[in-house]
Amino acid sequence: MAVEDFDTLERESPHPGRSDVAEYAALARALRGRVDGGVEFDEYAQVLYATDGSIYQARPAGVVYPTDVEDVRAAVETAAEFGVPVLPRGAGSSLAGQAVGPGCVVLDCSRHMNEILEVDPEARLARVQPGVVQDHLDARLADHGLKFAPDPASSNRATVGGGIGNNSTGAHSVRYGITDAYVEELRVVLADGSLIHTRDVVVDSPEWEEIVSRDDREAAIYETVRALVEDNADEIESRYPELKRSVSGYNLHKVIRETEAGERVINLSKLLAGSEGTLGVVVEATLSLVTVPEETALAVYWYDDLLEALAAVPVALEGPVGGVELMDDEVFRLARESEGYAAYARPVPEGTEAALMLEFDSELVDDFEATIAETTERLVADGPDETGAFGVLEADDPAEQADLWKLRKAAIPLLMSMAGDPKPYPFIEDASVPPAELAEYVGRFEGILADHDTSAAYFAHAGSGTLHIRPILNLKTEDGVETMHSITDDVTDLVLEYGGSFSGEHGDGMARTEFTPKMYGPQLWAAFKELKTAFDPDWQLHPGNVVYRDGPDDPGPDSDRGIGADMRENLRYGPAYQSLEPQTTLDFTEEGGFSHLVELCNGCGTCRQTESDVMCPTYRASGEEIQTTRGRANLLRAAISGELPPEELASERFQSEVLDLCVGCKGCASDCPTGVDLAKLKAEVKHRYHEEEGASLRSRLFADIDRLAALGAATAPASNWLARLPGARVAMEKTLGIARERELPTFQRHTLHDWFAARGGPRVPESAAQRRVVLFPDTYSAYCDPAPARAAVRVLEAADVHVRIPDDLAASGRAAYSTGVLDRARLRARHNVEALAPFVEAGWSVLFVEPSDAVMFQDEYRGLLLGPDTPELYAETVRRVCEASAGVCEYLDRERLDESIAFDTSGETLAYHGHCNQKAVGADHHAVGVLRRAGYAVDPVEATCCGMAGSFGYEAEHYELSQAIGRLLFDAVDASGGEPVAPGTSCRTQLGDRPGAEPPSHPLEKLADALER
């Protein structure tokens, strides 16, 4: 439910059902005395670690960031002394609630324990700490032609430790299986703080006898595990499903194996895989590796019926396939309607209800063409009256394959960005059945959904019998929650009937542990509890996952049924959830409202990725959860839902630690799977803060930087001398908080308008031009560095474009918007729209040298000027001006005007850094295309935001962080080896501030240089 003001929110207790805040404080003090790593037990830390990628939320007691094994041991021992449970956590991308636990001490091993300790290419082994991100490991292994086989979709931020805990896998499980097959050895801290080394041990060998002869926890574990496997052999044989994917319960069926020599080998590593941190804390892992195929090919088969596609899966598996993935019509529909994914959906024929995507690799196939032809003969219908696929798309080009994989992986973000409270939630999505049973199983699954008056999308790993099916429900209502539970009950019955597993991926967690007894029966359920007790006698490690307390004789908290006994508990959104829907200055209609935009964050943690895209630059520099988009969204949601005091939004801490460290790059608007635009949310909340507390002098100066620049230019060169007087920078830092390390821009007495007037205005007569444009005089081009704008004029005129630079336009309002001074930004926006409307009505375009100003017009002006009460005539005017706006290179590329220009380059290599705002709206590639057609060799640099971000890099308290972000870009530019070019003023300033470096050129300057030659 949404409410209209903070005053009506009923705030819950910070620790529902507990009154041990004083005990937590004592525990935090004890931990700080024994742990070298960070210890955070305040409300912010609790909120940040209360959620993961699932539907659940549970506040922990606090968070520890261990630096090494001894820190983990000390934390576990100390928590045990206080009777507080422990939860190890990686990236927090889990989808079943495994990474959250009420009242737990969270051990975040991702911050410090993230080293690759050893790689042995000949033995195909890697030894790593648990916080290593899987993609980082694979990047290290790439030089050896190796990889870690399991490939979850979250591999760009998911940690190896988390993957072991969940027994992860991915799209290629048909080929490679799941994580437990590759975990050879582990070093594990048990609940009593002891450290054990799990590896192959031959039963009854001298090594076995040496282990079990000791009077310690490890000996008891080995003896208990052996006894449980031997005593329950028949139940294990009959109850565990024969599937490539089954990650429910504990791996009693894999912990002991018989070798070819007839020896029985026990390896507890196989048991710890999938145990979700309930048996021990993994502090080191030795992993086996596989070779990377040199080539792959894809074949996508189109079907006009979902069940026909599923019926074809067993036929597809007859061939040498490495993966068989399913997509349905709902995914295609949403992709076509999405600006970000529409291009990937273009190859999908009209009328396609489902598609099977088959991957082949060169280690399995010698002749792709022949193999695909043979597969096509089996799968494609012979005629219109035959069943089967009606067509096939073959892709051997890596770029084309990458686009098809992007379409497949777009399913979850597209579904989760659905408007309104009903969402396709993950709770039963990982159920797996034998592939031969898929079609019949899904047909009956659809019947269950129909009985509950809902629907779902179908996608993912058909080849392994694991479909991600997410029923659409509103969990903010009692009916929605009860329907979720009823669907789960019915589906688990259905899965058992087909000999399947309740989870073929993503584990049990809070979502499925309730139903584990149903899957395994009372005998194995009792064995699971005995196993848990052997490892963890007091059930201190992540209680309630995999097993739960269901009787007074069970260890753990003194209650009849413990955590995990009811999937309806600890929901992030439930019937009691309420949130603020405030009156806002910006229009959030397209996002479904302010609170809906905040709540779009599903916790998947994509903002923790560090190797591609933009999001989230401050996290990449700091490694702190509070500086992710997820962290900021979680804290915003806590404030608007009453979980934090509503006045917290206006607190100095919230402003400085949560909002001010967002650089406003807008990377989240495009990189976040559900499009959580934190920059827009920040602008709104900062504006509210300024209204209540007043804006600082520095904020007001930066918001009016255009007027300050105009004054500086009018008084140059005196204004430049003053800024360079001895002690001037120190004084500015002390009075205004402007970093003394930054050199202020140089003002030009001869402004852009002066230059344009002196040259006689436009050189291409309006009457002779087919195209007419207004070149927007941004503040930096107008008063500090006119060269890029001059270059723009020359290049445009070379394409026979009539160019004008009006002198009655205001600044775009970007600076005021970024600092949250929205009234000022709106005034400038209104002025510019009114001034430019006559040009646009007459067919002119509005072009920009500065990318952030272009995006301000294209995107932010809509939020500033439009709303439900905006008169339609004015709204249409605003939309036309926004649509007529573009960067100069975007305009040249879109119209292919550069093809009419004679360029002369010597083929220099350019290292191009695109502006993050343009990346957010998908417009950063245009400059690359134009520069290449002009004759330059262009290397687009894969890097995040430059870290300057307008005023951010000038602010004294943010200078070090700005530089830390910048170094990520510097390294990427240096690795490229080309001459740096960047369209953004901030980017050129940051790159130019490197020791011994000159400010790079604007792409338009390189184009103008090519004209001059």
- Render 680-748 in DSSP notation, one character per residue: HHHHHHHHHHHHHH---HHHHHHHTHHHHHHHHHHTTTHHHHHHTSTTHHHHHHHHH-B-TTSPPPPP-
Which pLDDT belongs to residue 773?
A: 98
Structure tokens at 689: 């803060």
Q: What's the token pair of residue 77?
A: 């021992």
Measured at the CA of 654, the angle between CA 652 and CA 655, to 5 degrees, comes to 65
Residue 119, helix vs strand vs coil: strand
pLDDT above 90 covers a percentage of the chain that reads: 87
CA angle 968, 155, 295 (to 5 degrees): 95
Structure tokens at 923: 């417009």
Q: Is 813 helix (H, G, I), strand (E, B) or coil?
A: coil
| CA–CA separation, 724 and 743 (whole Å) | 9
Assess contact for 853 and 918: CB atoms under 8 A.
no
Distance, CA of 788 to CA of 595 (rounded, Å): 41
**Residue 22: its pLDDT value, please?**
82
Give the whole-angstrom CA distance, residue 411 versus residue 222.
43
The greatest distance separating any two alpha carbons of the chain, rounded to the nearest whole angstrom, comes to 98
Closest alpha carbon to 226 in 543, 534, 547, 555: 534
Q: What are phi and psi of 424, to 5 degrees?
A: -80, 90
DSSP-derived pairing of the beta strands 391-395 and 296-303: antiparallel
The answer to whether the CB of 472 falls within 8 A of the CB of 423 is: yes
Percent of the residues in the chain that have a pLDDT greater than 70, as a whole number: 97
The predicted-structure confidence for 605-653, as pLDDT tens digits, reads as follows: 999 999 888 999 999 999 999 999 999 999 999 999 999 987 899 999 9
489, burial (CB in 10 Å: exposed 0-12, middle 13-18, buried 19+):
middle
What is the bridge-based pairing of β-strands 264-266 and 296-303? unpaired
Q: In what order do the strands lie in the sheet with 979-981?
A: 937-940, 909-912, 979-981
Identify the burial level of 717 via C-beta atoms within 10 angstroms of its C-beta, where 0-12 means exposed, 13-18 middle and 19 or more buried.
exposed
**Helix-helix angle 926-934:888-895, to 10 degrees:** 70
858 secondary structure, DSSP code: I
SS3 363: coil
How much is the pTM? 0.94
**Both ends of the chain: CA-CA distance in Å?**
65
Neighbouring CB atoms inside 10 A of 964's CB total 15
Angstrom distance (rounded) from CA 862 to CA 855: 11
Beta strands in 805-930 (DSSP E): 845-848, 885-887, 909-912
Q: Where are the alpha helices (DSSP H) in 94-157?
A: 134-142
Alpha-carbon dihedral sign for residues 586, 587, 591, 596: positive
- The gap from C-alpha 848 to its chain's centroid, in whole angstroms, comes to 30
Angle at 439 between CA 438 and CA 444, to 5 degrees: 95
- Secondary structure, 3-state, 14-51: CCCCCCCHHHHHHHHHHHHHHCCCEEECCHHHHHHCCE
In whole angstroms, give the CA distance from residue 875 to residue 839: 17
pLDDT of residue 17: 37
Give the number of other CB atoms < 10 A from CB of residue 153: 21
C-alpha distances (whole Å) from 80 to each of 175, 489, 545, 990 are 42, 35, 18, 49
Q: Which residues of the chain fall short of a pLDDT of 70? A: 1-20, 557-562, 1013
CB 522 within 8 A of CB 185: no
Q: How far is CA 526 from the centre of its chain?
A: 39
Q: Decide if 78 contacts 48 (C-beta within 8 A).
A: no
- Fill in the amino acid letter for 738: I
Give the ranges where 97-248 is alpha helix by DSSP (H): 134-142, 160-166, 173-176, 206-212, 217-231, 233-239
Per the listing, tokens 């002869």 go with 213
DSSP state of 661: T
Element of type H or E holding 326: strand 323-328
Name the CA dihedral angle for 365, 366, 369, 371, rounded to a multiple of 10 degrees. -40
d(CA 161, CA 111): 13
Q: Which residues have CB under 8 Å from 134's CB, separation 6+? A: 148, 150, 151, 152, 155, 156, 158, 159, 160, 163
Q: How far apart are CA 18 and CA 4, in angstroms?
A: 30
Q: What DSSP state is assigned to residue 322?
A: S
Beta bridge partners of 201: 266
- Residue with token string 């573009």: 886
755-789 burial string, b = 16+ CB within 10 Å, else e?
Answer: bbeeeeebebeeeebebbbbbbbbbbbbbbbbbbb
Q: What is the CA radius of gyration of the chain?
A: 30
Q: Which of 423, 503, 478, 606 is nearest to 167 (CA)?
A: 503
Q: Amino acid identity of 59?
A: R
Q: What are phi and psi of 863, to 5 degrees?
A: -70, -30
Nearest CA to 111 out of 80, 72, 145, 76 is that of 72
According to DSSP H, which parts of 101-232 are helical?
134-142, 160-166, 173-176, 206-212, 217-231
Nearest-5° Cα angle at 86, 83 to 91: 160
Give the model's pLDDT for residue 34: 97
